[in-house]
């Protein structure tokens, strides 16, 4: 096999790929984001990718994505909504608007840096991309040991629109409550985010449990990036451990995304190309890559 052929095979796997977790300008903290959505669309289209979903930790991305889908190079790009304080937290009214704005948010994420879980986790070292937040303003989905009623409203709205609900930066304990409520309410389209990031406090038993309920388990490239050292104060993940975890969870329940776009990391499309190459090198077959990069993300983008 020539040196070029493995690269050609990686590029072939990019065709039809879908990345549902990207940070791109316009974005909160534009100075640390490398690419705007037009450049992203052009690069993804050139690589033959099928679709993308972009995310901002501040506002819903349904506006910019609507425009670039119609005026861009010809690849559909969809929006997401993050329930941080900027959008009113766990705010059903804000979620309804995001689901009905433009082409409709395809993913509704629980809060990221504004969760009480993340605020507490980052106290030890965090120098990252969220403004400081006192505990009393941080978001938790639990009150007196029970889910707050707004979560159930959000679940209903997401279900009605056929979107996906993502656990984002909730703690493992919160994720269990949310996933149980979602299943009870008949919502099957659930993402368990950041599977291997210590911040979520998820263990392999949790991941297997969520997979057995039909959740999709997300493995982001970002966890392997140097940004982990100086934003999150912890070493990047070893790709061999990521592959081991995917196999333990079961490939059918997993998907890959980039969570890239920060200036400290490869551009999202380049990152996904590298991710595919790394997975192949670490024992993931091309058929398995298609499950995690083509088929499962297509469900999330609403293309199934």
Residues engaged in binding Zn ion (CB under 5 A): 259
The two most distant CA atoms of the chain are separated, in Å, by 62
| Distance of closest approach, residue 23 Cβ to Zn ion, in angstroms | 6
> Can you point out the beta strands (E) in 103-166?
107-109, 142-143, 146-147, 164-166
| Distance of closest approach, residue 86 Cβ to Zn ion, in angstroms | 14
Q: CB–CB of 252/228 below 8 Å?
A: no
Of residues 19 and 288, the one with the C-beta less far from Zn ion = 19
Of residues 174 and 259, the one with the C-beta less far from Zn ion = 259
Of residues 10 and 40, the one with the C-beta less far from Zn ion = 40
> What three-state secondary structure class fits 128?
coil
Closest CA to 164 of 14, 16, 303, 24: 303
| Distance of closest approach, residue 145 Cβ to Zn ion, in angstroms | 29
Of residues 27 and 273, the one with the C-beta less far from Zn ion = 27
| Distance of closest approach, residue 166 Cβ to Zn ion, in angstroms | 10
Provide CB contacts within 8 A for 142, sequence distance 6+: 148, 173, 174, 177
Provide the Cα torsion 94, 96, 97, 100; round to 10°: 160
| Distance of closest approach, residue 25 Cβ to Zn ion, in angstroms | 14
Of residues 177 and 231, the one with the C-beta less far from Zn ion = 231
- CB nearest Zn ion: which residue? 259
Q: What share of the chain is helix, strand, coil (3-state, %, to 5)?
A: 50, 15, 35
């Amino acid at each position: 096999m020539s040196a070029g052929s493995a690269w050609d095979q990686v590029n072939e796997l990019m065709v039809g790929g879908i990345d549902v977790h990207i940070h791109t300008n316009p974005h909160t903290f534009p100075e640390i984001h490398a690419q705007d959505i037009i450049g992203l669309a052009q690069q993804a289209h050139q690589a033959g990718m099928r679709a993308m979903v972009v995310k901002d930790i501040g506002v819903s991305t349904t506006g910019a994505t609507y425009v670039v889908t119609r005026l861009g190079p010809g690849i559909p790009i969809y929006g997401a909504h993050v329930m941080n304080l900027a959008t009113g937290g766990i705010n059903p009214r804000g979620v309804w608007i995001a689901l009905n704005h433009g082409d409709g948010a395809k993913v509704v994420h629980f809060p990221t840096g504004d969760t009480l879980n993340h605020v507490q986790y980052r106290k030890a070292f965090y120098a990252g991309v969220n403004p400081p937040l006192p505990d009393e303003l941080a978001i938790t989905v639990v009150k007196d040991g029970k889910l707050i009623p707004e979560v159930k409203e959000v679940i209903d709205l997401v279900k009605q629109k056929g979107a996906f609900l993502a656990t984002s930066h909730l703690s493992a304990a919160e994720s269990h409550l949310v996933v149980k409520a979602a299943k009870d309410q008949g919502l099957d389209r659930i993402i368990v985010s950041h599977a291997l990031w210590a911040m979520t406090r998820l263990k392999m038993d949790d991941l297997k449990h969520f997979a057995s309920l039909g959740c999709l388990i997300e493995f982001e490239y970002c966890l392997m990036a140097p940004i982990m050292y100086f934003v999150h104060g912890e070493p990047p993940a070893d790709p061999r451990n990521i592959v081991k975890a995917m196999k333990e969870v079961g490939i059918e329940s997993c998907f890959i995304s980039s969570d890239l776009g920060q200036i400290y990391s490869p551009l999202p499309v380049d990152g996904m190309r590298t991710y595919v190459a790394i997975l192949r090198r670490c024992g993931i077959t091309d058929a398995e890559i298609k499950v995690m990069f083509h088929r499962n993300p297509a469900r999330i983008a609403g293309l199934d």
